[in-house]
Amino acid sequence: MRGHRLLWTGLLIAPFLAVAADTPREIPVVAKNWEYQPNVIELCSGERVRLLIETQDRDHGFEFKAAGVKVKLLKGKVTPVEFTAPAPGTYEFRCAFYCGKGHKGMKGQVVVRNC
């Protein structure tokens, strides 16, 4: 009887655990004054991530080629950007929309490790 209770408890809990594991980790990012804050993002290979990028001063862009991501970021908005972290390594992300004199320097790094 006790074994059946444990089995049923496991069967009832398992779907909720699967949902929790599929939920991407959310990371807030600010884009302003030709920089991203933070400008280094550390991830685990294969991790699902949702960047919540807030643009404060003007329209910008976000391009992370290693994950096939390229989006326009609108001033005053939070743009969710979701992807799965690639293989271990250090990758660049950058602004993909001309935003003024500091545009070329608006970039950062994604550092991916085996976790």
**Is residue 9, in this structure, part of any structural domain at all?**
no
What range defines the domain where residue 41 resides? 24-113
Q: With 80 as the cut, is the pLDDT of residue 56 above it?
A: yes
**Is residue 79, in this structure, part of any structural domain at all?**
yes
**Is residue 10, in this structure, part of any structural domain at all?**
no
**Is residue 3, in this structure, part of any structural domain at all?**
no
**Mean pLDDT on 78-94:** 98
**Mean pLDDT on 33-53:** 98
pLDDT digits (tens, 9 = 90+) for 100-114: 999 999 999 999 999
The dihedrals phi and psi of 63, each to the nearest 5 degrees, come to: -130, 125
Residue 108: CATH number of its domain: 2.60.40.420
**Is residue 15, in this structure, part of any structural domain at all?**
no
Q: Per the confidence metrics, is the pTM higher than 0.75?
A: yes
Element (H, E) at 98: none
In the three-class reduction of DSSP (H, G, I as helix; E, B as strand; rest coil), residue 34 is classed as coil
Percent of the chain with pLDDT over 70: 82
Q: With 80 as the cut, is the pLDDT of residue 10 above it?
A: no
- Give how many domains the chain has, as a whole number: 1
**Is residue 13, in this structure, part of any structural domain at all?**
no
